[in-house]
A = this chain, B = another copy of it.
């Protein structure tokens, strides 16, 4: 039994190299990193993390402090048992929000520990499909001029990306259409191009936008509206004529079930750091497989590359890690549109803890 001996939450504020913006979150000058480090009775270690776009990291930290108390001495290998113990212990003041971010980080650490103990990279422990995962660049570029957007795109091509996502949701739809057209012309007909509206629109507005984007053959249109309306999403899928990605703001397997079983999504897009961790991500991916759908991802590419490398229905991995690469040894490399899941045991992420210490909250 891998009894948990130490559970150490951390909370950091990481300034971004440049201020980001999208149609919903406004300006993002920093993000918050919440970590949890586990050590079992044999001295083996596991690390998990989650992040916010600048608020509520203290609430995530409070959840991780509760989980440390709830999980002390438990068998780290009994992950399903611990996940449900945490879910129900925190259910009344939990079930969504920062609680799930905290539980996700804890679950990632448990899976890392299990894979480290087994001497296997996470993607092999989870089943193993193909370590070469197609990847796309998630651009945060809504406020850029068209020229700057194309320059950023050229930079992404130079960095090895062969699929790119842009933001939409400008004040007038016609502006979005012109930006998508400029990107399509710049990249050529065959290049995989996605667009992300960050929940900007109502349902009829989203359908109108999707139809306006049809000539540009988007791989997907992402988060056209708020995550609280599965029936509205189903209308957008049916009537908009463009594949729909959604899920970065869904917080459980059951929320994904509403979308996947309800015809409200083409590319389910869980974020391992906020959907309930590796445990929930893999169930969501398998649920998508059962419904004949691909699965893509949001954020935390260094963990998620393992999960998509384990899934036969994997689509593109989103490469989007804020400024976190500066605090990770051997950050994920992108070559010719592909990220390679590492062969180190566990997820293989080694944080620069002394560098992070200066950013502790």
Contacts and interface: CB of A to CB of B under 8 A. Distances in A.
Interface residues of A, number: 44
Contacts of A56: 62-63, 66, 90, 92-94, 99
A92 B53 contact: yes
A97 interface: yes
Q: Could you say how many copies of this chain the assembly holds?
A: 2
Given A66-B55, A228-B255, A101 B93 contact: yes
A93 B57 CA distance: 7
Interface in A24-76: 24-25, 32, 52-53, 55-63, 65-66, 70
Contacts of A252: 228
Contact of A59 (B32, B52, B59): B59
A55 B95 contact: no
B58 A62 contact: yes
A93 B60 contact: yes
B59 A99 contact: yes
Interface in A89-121: 89-102
Contacts of A230: 258
A254 interface: yes
Query: Which residue of A89, A96, A230, A251 has the most chain B CB atoms within 10 A of its CB atom?
Result: A96
A20 interface: no
A88 interface: yes
Contacts of A94: 55-56, 97-98
Interface string A164-194: 0000000000000000000000000000000
A55 B97 contact: no
Nearest to A254: B228
B228 A89 contact: no
Contacts of A96: 95-97, 99-100, 251
A249 interface: yes
Given A97-B99, A98-B99, A99-B98, A89 B254 contact: no
A90 B56 CA distance: 6
A196 to B, nearest CB: 14
B59 A95 contact: no
Nearest to A89: B55
Contact of A249 (B25, B63, B89, B91): B91
Query: Which residue of A57, A98, A102 has the most chain B CB atoms within 10 A of its CB atom?
Result: A98
A352 interface: no
A158 interface: no
A226 interface: yes
A52 B99 CA distance: 13
B88 A24 contact: yes
Given A52-B93, A56-B99, A228-B254, 18 more contacts: A56-B62, A56-B92, A58-B62, A58-B66, A59-B60, A59-B62, A59-B63, A59-B93, A59-B102, A93-B101, A94-B97, A95-B96, A96-B96, A96-B99, A96-B251, A98-B98, A98-B99, A228-B252
